[in-house]
Structure 1
Amino acid sequence: MGKVLYHIFITLYPLLARLAALFNSKARKWVTGRKDIMNTIAEAVKPLDAGTVWVHCSSLGEFEQGRPLLEKIKTLHPQYKIILTFFSPSGYEVQKKYSKADYIFYLPMDSPANAARFYDIIRPSLVIFVKYEFWNYFLKEAHKRKIPLLLVSGIFRKSQPFFAWYGGFYRQMLQYFSFLFVQNEASLQLLEGIGITHASISGDTRFDRVLEIAATHKNIDGIEDFCEGKTVIVAGSTWTEDDEELDHYANTHRDYRFIIAPHDITEERLKECDALYKYSIRYSTYLQLLKSGIPTQEVNTLIIDNIGLLGYLYRYGKVCFVGGGFGGDGVHNVLEPAVYGRPVLFGPVYDKFFEAVELLDAEGAFTVEGALELEKQLDILLSDATAYKKACGNAGNYVKNKSGATATIVNYIQEKRLLTN
């Protein structure tokens, strides 16, 4: 049954994507990005004059997880070409010019023919899949060709098909991996329960990535000016529902500064933020006014209307709010603000994300059920110096104590001689 469901999925997904592309820009990019993709790849990487390492990420979040490992491999083995693939436009479109990868493509849709041709073209010495996405024929082809295949920062939950009664087909996919590096003990136990023993706990490479970002002081135009001398609250990756919980506090605390970075920066979504935050200005407009010397005293909220700054923006916040817990599929990356030693607030949908659960347990984060709780918690943290200092220390220490996953995986690659020097 599992194989039937999988084949229905890989058959219907492109058809549905083409239908959605008629009215959805993201689906349109997914479709157009894969037009004649195999020939595009063959033309781009021909001829190969060195070995290759293929790293696959579902989207932007998985890329940030895989990035520390990818860059470490590039440093240790510069003779290898890095081939980076994405399934989602939200990853590919943002990182298609990423300089540390030699080739960046959309992943062709999974099929026996596509997998065989893809491997014929790129001839990888090592294949790395990040966190999740399990494409049967791409995995099977690596196993068939005896190419080392690693899963890094894997996370497993009981609800996944690997652990269902019909999951034999999916369990076989896990057998194709040479080794699986998982984030936590719960994932390891789930794998052991279905007979997967070629796995160990490495932790999450995202901890290494956020520590790298925090160690890089990036001067962001206009932000110092906006924040100077003010109490600042940074809200990142917000959805409409998150902003609806926060807007009242921003609108009634005119002396504070708020930096809002929406998860989606389409014009429709930005207009929502413009309407919700009464004393707001978009970041691009603010920069223009700043350069022109035009005063913006009435503004207390900055709406970030570009991508790529959020990991650096959190350091400006005295308290940080992470979106997704009131809208979307759950809270986004809580590690990005925690690494700066900032208390983290988020909504009630977080249970799928172990780092959010652990940060709550470490008392470096606080979950709130709605606007009233959110405002109360903000008031406590911004007025009680002792509580604030404790939360800051707890958040920063949690991230530092969880680092090292990248080194663990690199050591495995070196010890097993998966790549030559």
Structure 2
Amino acid sequence: MFSGFYNAGIVAYQILLRLVAPFNTKARQWVAGRQHWATALRNKLTDNEQPVVWFHAASLGEFEQGRPVIEAFREAYPTHKILLTFFSPSGYEVRKNYEGADYVVYLPADTPANAQEFVALVQPQMAFFIKYEFWYNYLRALKAANVPIVSFSAIFRPDQLFFKPYGGFYKNMLTYFDHILVQNAESVQLLNHIGLTNVTLAGDTRFDRVAQVASARKAIPTAWLFKAQQPVLVVGSAWPEDMSVLIPFINQFTQNLKVIIAPHEIQDAAIEKWRAELAKKTIRFSETQVPSFDQSQLRSADCLFIDNVGMLSSLYQYGEFAYIGGAFKQGLHNILEAATFGMPLFFGPDYQKFQEATDLVNEGAAFPIGSVADLNEAFSKQYANRSEAEQISRNYVQRNIGATAQVMEVVKKLMGQSPAKQTNN
């Protein structure tokens, strides 16, 4: 019976998005990206004669989390085609040209008809869901087609519906997975408690990804000139709530410090507002790229605003400290990209749902703050002596690398058991 409510909710969600699409860019992209999806997908697959595997990511963060596995699968099974789907426009629009996948599309809404048609068109040899994605009708359609299903980098908490007395519908979804690879021991215990034993404690594949990113970091001459051999605080993915704490802190901090600020959303009005509120000399990255720009202005500036995208992960190499945005309201952004370079980390108070944040707070390399006073106190202590936090954060990333290899071990076993795989042989 609950499946009827679930399906009604999916339909209602689609209707709501269509209603708000004229007024909201992301809703408009979500709707437009799914129009005539079956025809578009059929056309993409028309000439393909190779087996297909399907990876699904909710958005950009989950894609980056799954990317090491996608690339490891490509290396291990080069004759297979890879289909990558996204739920959110923020993932699809950024990675629609990702060269590691053969096909990149939006995931059609999780209705019974869509799920059955999608699985029939793709005929995947295996399906991967990254971290949080649990779509009832897709899981049912895959299981009916005898397609092995894997969830990796998953993390579970006691307050989720899977573990409630009234959460039988959601608990049943988990039984469709052939294997679930989780991030922590608590997740293993929770799943075992409801009778699921096809579970592996593998850790988080994001560690593998940030190690890849750090080793392939790009030099940013503008950031190097701005740094001018002085200590730098890199602010990554800042939201207005973060800036309301950071700006007073920067204005009142009297010791030698430069600040690189990468907003989560590049909006000229917001950047100019923040520049006006800062009492120190500020400059925008785009201003420094003009041929006539005087480089001495860059060296003398106190705050550098990054007004483009795709640069943040490489910017952390120039920092001694990092503040990561999103933990006041929107959800904490990736802290591992900064941690891999070894530095004290600061972020807002709502971090408990993020395992790596909780771990680093407990180990003494990360510091949650709820006010300007909190930030000033925590930062001042680390400014005076950051060596311990540097070592802790760097070691934390290094010792957690390796989840991708464990996922691939499960893949090898399941590929051997897949009836579809054996047919192609």
Task: Please classify the TM superposition score into its range, dividing by the shorter chain length.
Answer: over 0.9
Residue 264 (structure 2) aligns with: 263
CA contact (8 A) 1:240 1:272 kept: no
Deviation, 1:294, is 7.8
Q: Which amino acid aligns with 1:381?
A: Q
Q: Counterparts of 1:225 and 1:2 in 2: how far apart (Å)?
A: 60
Length-normalised TM-score, structure 1: 0.94
Residue 136 (structure 1) aligns with: 136
Residue 282 (structure 1) aligns with: 284
CA contact (8 A) 2:110 2:135 kept: yes
Deviation, 1:268, is 4.6
Residue 389 (structure 1) aligns with: 387
Residues 162-216 of structure 1: CA distance to partner in whole angstroms, max 9, x if unpaired?
A: 1223322212211111111111111111112222221121110011111111111
Residues 84-125 of structure 1: CA distance to partner in whole angstroms, max 9, x if unpaired?
A: 000001111111111111110110011121112212222211
In the superposition, relative to structure 1, how do residues 270 and 107 fare at CA in structure 2: closer, same or farther (>3 Å)?
farther
User: Is 1:217 aligned to 2:212, yes or no?
Assistant: no
CA contact (8 A) 1:221 1:287 kept: no
In the superposition, relative to structure 1, how do residues 145 and 260 fare at CA in structure 2: closer, same or farther (>3 Å)?
same
In the superposition, relative to structure 1, how do residues 36 and 338 fare at CA in structure 2: closer, same or farther (>3 Å)?
same
Q: Counterparts of 1:289 and 1:272 in 2: how far apart (Å)?
A: 26
Q: Counterparts of 1:247 and 1:193 in 2: how far apart (Å)?
A: 47
Deviation, 1:296, is 4.2
Q: Which amino acid aligns with 2:392?
A: N
Residue 351 (structure 1) aligns with: 352
What is the aligned counterpart of 2:412 among 408, 411, 414?
414
CA contact (8 A) 2:225 2:299 kept: no
Q: How does 1:227-376 map to 2 (within 5 A)?
A: 227-253=227-253, 255-278=256-279, 279-288=281-290, 295-296=297-298, 299-329=301-331, 331-376=332-377
Q: Counterparts of 2:340 and 2:291 in 1: how far apart (Å)?
A: 32
Residue 32 (structure 2) aligns with: 32
CA contact (8 A) 2:148 2:414 kept: no
Q: Counterparts of 1:303 and 1:37 in 2: how far apart (Å)?
A: 39
Moved more, 179-188 or 294-303: 294-303
**TM-align CA RMSD:** 2.0
CA contact (8 A) 1:273 1:303 kept: no
In the superposition, relative to structure 1, how do residues 42 and 59 fare at CA in structure 2: closer, same or farther (>3 Å)?
same
SS at structure 2 position matched to 1:241:
helix
Residue 402 (structure 1) aligns with: 400
Residues 288-321 of structure 1: CA distance to partner in whole angstroms, max 9, x if unpaired?
A: 2675768346532122222222122112110111
SS at structure 2 position matched to 1:180:
strand
CA contact (8 A) 1:231 1:256 kept: yes
CA contact (8 A) 2:342 2:390 kept: yes
SS at structure 2 position matched to 1:47:
coil
User: Is 1:43 aligned to 2:43, yes or no?
Assistant: yes
Q: Unaligned 5+ residue runs, structure 1?
A: none
Q: Counterparts of 2:341 and 2:202 in 1: how far apart (Å)?
A: 23
Residues 319-353 of structure 1: CA distance to partner in whole angstroms, max 9, x if unpaired?
A: 11111122323x22221111111111112111111
Length-normalised TM-score, structure 2: 0.93
CA contact (8 A) 1:207 1:402 kept: yes
Deviation, 1:285, is 2.3
SS at structure 1 position matched to 2:328:
coil
User: Is 1:21 aligned to 2:21, yes or no?
Assistant: yes
In the superposition, relative to structure 1, how do residues 282 and 366 fare at CA in structure 2: closer, same or farther (>3 Å)?
same
Q: Report how many residues are paired.
A: 417
Residue 125 (structure 1) aligns with: 125
Residue 206 (structure 1) aligns with: 206
Q: Counterparts of 1:233 and 1:296 in 2: how far apart (Å)?
A: 16
SS at structure 2 position matched to 1:22:
helix
In the superposition, relative to structure 1, how do residues 200 and 373 fare at CA in structure 2: closer, same or farther (>3 Å)?
same
In the superposition, relative to structure 1, how do residues 180 and 369 fare at CA in structure 2: closer, same or farther (>3 Å)?
same
Deviation, 1:16, is 1.1
